[in-house]
Chains A and B, each alone.
Chain A
C-alpha cells in the first residue's frame, strides 16, 4: 500500500477550507488551523509580526479571556502549540475525540475575537526577544544561517528570518499586531484540518456549528503579493568566524523551483537527486567525503520543495580534523560534476525511489504528520491530489531527468556558499 487513505475535503459557506483525515487507531484527534500567511507576508519594516502575533494569539478573547483556552486544553488532557513559517501560521491541539467540538469552538472564537490590552503585549515581546537570543544570538551556526538566507534571496522576503530582525522586533507593538490580525485572520484565509478518530460527516456538522458562524469580514480577501527574485549572476560567499565554533562546516545553497512552480517533472527529479546525492549513508556525498576518502565526519543534502515561491537545494559537509573548507568544497564540486556529466546507475535510482515511496507509507503512521503535510501543501499552492500522486511521480523519475535537473539548477555561480569557522583566540 503506497496510496494515502481517502481524505474528506470541502468548504464552508464563509470560505473556510476543511480537510478530514480519518485514523481510527486511537480515540484521539489532531485539530489544526492553518492561515495562509507567514513571515514572508510581514509588512516592510515589521519583520517578525507574523510570529509575534502567533504568540499573542494565546492572550485571550472577550468570550475566553486570558489563559482560559490553554487552561481548558490542559484540563481535558490536551496538548497544544503553534508555529510560524515563511508561508503559513498554524495552531493545533491534540485531544481525546470527545473534546473536538470544544477545541473548534475556542479556535473559531480566536479567529476574530482576540483582545490585546494591558501589559501582556510588551511582556510577550520580551519573551520573543528571549526566544531570538536562545535560537540565534547564542549560536554562531544560526547567525551564519541568517546571513546565508539574506544573501541567497536578494529581494524576496524569504531572506528575512521568520522570527524577525532583532531591531524590528523591539519596535513591534499592539497596533501592528492588530492590523496584521484583522488583515489575515478570517475564515476564507484559513484551512481547518482534523485528523484522527473522526469521519467527514461529523466534522462537517461540527465545523458548521463553530467556524461556520465566523463572518468573513468586509474587506477584500487578503492577497499575497510577493516580489520576484531578479536573475543574479554573481557567485556569493559568506563566512562567520567565532571562538565558540568547535566544529567548522561548509554549506552551499542553490535557488531551485518548488513543486508548484517547477517545469516538467523537475521537482520529483530534484527529490530523487537529493536522495541519491545526500539523503542517506549510501549517498554519493556520504560515500565520497565520509567513507571512501575521509575528508568529512558528515555530509548530505536537502531540498526545500514546498515553498509558495522559490525553493532551495542545499549541500553541506563537516570536515574531519585538519581538512580545509575549500578542499571540502572542491570535493563537493567533483561529486556534483559527476551528477551533471553521467547518468546515475539503475540500482542507485531504484534504491532512492524505494526509500522515498516508503517514506509516504511511514508518514501514515502519524495522524499529526499527515495533518502537517496537508497543511503545508495547501498553504504553499499545492492540492490534496498532489499528495496522492506524489509516489507515482517519484516512480517515473528516470536517470535522464536527474541529469537534466542537475545541469539546469546545480550550476557553479548560481549559489551562495557559507563557511563557519573558529576564530583565532
Chain B
C-alpha cells in the first residue's frame, strides 16, 4: 500500500521586514494556524500589579482600532476567525486560526488586536470581573490552592510566587494606564517568536506577519527577572479544606531545559512518574494499592527556575500512606536509577511517541512555539530522537542521584489529611 504521508518539514521564512518565522506548509485541510509569543509574561508584572499581563492578554480581543468589543467579535464571527491571547509566566501568547479563504481578514484583525487595542473602560471592567470571578473560584479549588501555596513557598519574593492571573486586590487596583504601559513594554520585535502551519505559502505568511508586527518597537523594556532556586525544602504545608480527598504536591529542585543532563533527567522522570499506565508511581500508588485515581510527576522548567513536581489526590485517611509510598519510590530511583530495561523502554516510548505531536496543525504550532520559547534550534525536531537514544544508563543514574539523592521535598497538601507528621 502506498501512502503520501510525510514527516513534518519546518522551514525558516524571513519576511521582508526581517521577521524570522518557522513555517510548515500543508494543504490537506484549508486552514491556517499562526501562533506567536512575546517573551516575558506574568513575570514582568509589577510587584503590586500581579495579574497585569494576563489582564492585558484578556483585553486584546475586546476591541481594537475603530472596532469596539462587540464589532470586533462580530468581525471574527462573520468569518469564523479564532483569535485568542493568554499569558503564562514567561510569555504572552497569541493564536490565530482561520479558514484559508479568510486569512487576509484574520491578519487584519490580528494586526488591530496587537497594535491598537482600545482598552475601553467597559471592556476593562468586564474582563476584570471575569478574572476576579475565576480567582474567587480558585480560592476553594483544591488544585489551585495547592499549586498557589507551592509557588508561594518555593519562590518567595520572586514574580513566580504569584499566580499568573494575579490576586484579587492587585487585579482590583489595575488601571487603564497600567495596561497601556505594559502593552508598550512587552510588545517588541526582539522578544517575538512566530510559527505558522497550514494551507498558506511562505510568501503569504511573511506578508501577513509584516502587516501585523511590522511597526512594533525594536526592543522590549523588560525588568530583569532573577534566577530563583527552590525554597522551603523539607517543609510540609497543610491547607485546610472541607473535602473527603486531599490533593498533594511534592516539589524538588529540577533541571533547566538547556542543561546537558536534561534528557537523562527527562528519562528518569518518565520512569518514575511521567509515563501514564507504566510508571513506578502509577504501579505502586494506583495499581498495587488503589490509593488514587491519578498520580504523576514531571519536570517543570521556566525561564528562571526549575522544579521537579509530583502529585496525587487520595482519601484524607490515606494521605500518610500515599506520601510514604511516593517518597520511597523517589528515594529508590535516587539511589539506583532506572534499570537497563526501564531505560530501553523509556527510550522506545519517547522516540516512538514524538510523531504523535505532529498530527494536527494546532499541535504542531504549539510544539514549535514551545521549542522557540525554550531557545532550541529549528533542526531540533530531527535531532530530538537522537538525543534520547544517546542517553546512557550511567547518565540516568547520575541524573537520578542529582535529582533525588538525599531529597528534601517541599510538600503541600490541601484537604483534611491524616497520617502526616507535619
Contacts and interface: CB of A to CB of B under 8 A. Distances in A.
Interface of A: 1, 23-28, 58, 67, 70-71, 73-81, 94-97, 99, 120, 122-128, 130-131, 133-134, 137-138, 196-199, 201-202, 243-247, 280-282, 287, 290-291, 294, 297-298, 318, 320-321, 350-351, 354-355, 357-359, 361-362, 364-368
16 contacts: A26-B8, A26-B355, A26-B359, A77-B350, A77-B356, A96-B355, A124-B290, A130-B291, A133-B313, A138-B243, A197-B3, A246-B140, A247-B137, A280-B77, A366-B359, A367-B359
A241 to B, nearest CB: 13
B74 interface: yes
B28 A25 contact: yes
A361 B99 contact: yes
Interface residues on B, range: 35 or more
Contacts of A280: 73, 77
A361 B73 contact: no
A78 B352 CA distance: 7
Contact of A202 (B1, B140, B351, B358): B1
Given A74-B275, A320-B129, A24 B5 contact: yes
A130 B28 contact: no
Given A1-B30, A246-B139, A133 B130 contact: no
B181 interface: no
Interface stretch (B86-94, B208-216, B281-289, B397-405): B281-289
B142 to A, nearest CB: 6
A298 B3 contact: no
A294 B129 contact: yes
9 tightest A-B contacts by CB?
A77-B352, A126-B290, A358-B80, A123-B290, A77-B353, A131-B293, A246-B136, A138-B243, A244-B140
Contact of B244 (A27, A133, A287): A133
A282 B79 CA distance: 13
Interface string B57-101: 000000000000110011001111000000000000000010100
B290 A28 contact: no
B245 A138 contact: yes
Interface string B127-159: 001101100110110100000000000000000
A199 B3 contact: yes
A133 B245 contact: yes
Given A201-B1, A367-B359, A134 B277 contact: no
Given A126-B290, A294-B126, A355-B77, A365 B31 contact: yes
Nearest to B24: A25
Contacts of B99: 358, 361
A25 B130 contact: no
B349 interface: yes
Interface in B231-258: 241-245
A365 to B, nearest CB: 5
Interface string B357-386: 011111000000000000000000000000
B318 to A, nearest CB: 9
Contact of B97 (A24, A131, A201, A362): A362
Which of B142, B276, B355 neighbours the largest number of chain A CB atoms within 10 Å of its CB? Answer: B355
Contacts of B3: 24, 197-199
Nearest to A275: B77
Given A77-B356, A137-B245, A199 B129 contact: no
B241 A244 contact: yes
A25 B5 contact: yes
B196 to A, nearest CB: 14
Nearest to A201: B1
Given A75-B345, A127-B286, A354 B137 contact: no
A74 to B, nearest CB: 4
B289 A123 contact: yes
A99 to B, nearest CB: 8
Which of A71, A76, A95, A127 neighbours the largest number of chain B CB atoms within 10 Å of its CB? Answer: A127
Contacts of B276: 79, 81
Contact of B5 (A27, A58, A320, A354): A27
Interface of B: 1, 3-8, 26, 28-31, 69-70, 73-74, 77-80, 97, 99, 122, 125-126, 129-130, 132-133, 136-137, 139-140, 142, 241-245, 275-278, 286-294, 313-315, 345, 348-356, 358-362
A416 to B, nearest CB: 23
Given A74-B275, A196-B359, A362-B31, 20 more contacts: A24-B5, A26-B5, A28-B359, A75-B345, A77-B348, A77-B353, A123-B287, A130-B290, A130-B314, A134-B294, A198-B3, A243-B242, A282-B70, A294-B125, A294-B126, A359-B80, A361-B29, A364-B31, A365-B360, A365-B362
Nearest to A135: B293
Contact of A134 (B122, B293, B352): B293
Which of A123, A130, A290 neighbours the largest number of chain B CB atoms within 10 Å of its CB? Answer: A130
B80 A355 contact: yes
B266 to A, nearest CB: 14
B355 to A, nearest CB: 5
Contacts of B348: 75-77
Contacts of A199: 1, 3
A417 to B, nearest CB: 21
B31 to A, nearest CB: 6
A291 B69 contact: yes
Nearest to B80: A358
Contacts of B275: 74
B242 to A, nearest CB: 7
B38 to A, nearest CB: 23
Contacts of A202: 1
Which of B30, B129, B132 neighbours the largest number of chain A CB atoms within 10 Å of its CB? Answer: B129
Contacts of B245: 130, 133-134, 137-138
B276 to A, nearest CB: 8
A23 B97 CA distance: 20
Contacts of B122: 291
Nearest to B129: A297
A133 B315 contact: yes
A400 to B, nearest CB: 22
A96 B142 CA distance: 37
A74 B344 CA distance: 11
A361 B244 CA distance: 44
Contacts of B140: 244-246
Contact of B358 (A26, A137, A201, A358): A26
A77 B349 contact: yes
Given A133-B244, A246-B139, A297 B294 contact: no
B359 A76 contact: no
A173 B315 CA distance: 21
A125 B294 contact: no
A199 B4 CA distance: 11
B130 A298 contact: yes
B359 A246 contact: no
Which of B130, B277, B351, B361 neighbours the largest number of chain A CB atoms within 10 Å of its CB? Answer: B277
Nearest to B277: A70
A245 B70 CA distance: 31
A80 B278 CA distance: 11
A134 B345 CA distance: 31
A364 B29 contact: yes
A361 B31 contact: yes
Contacts of A243: 242
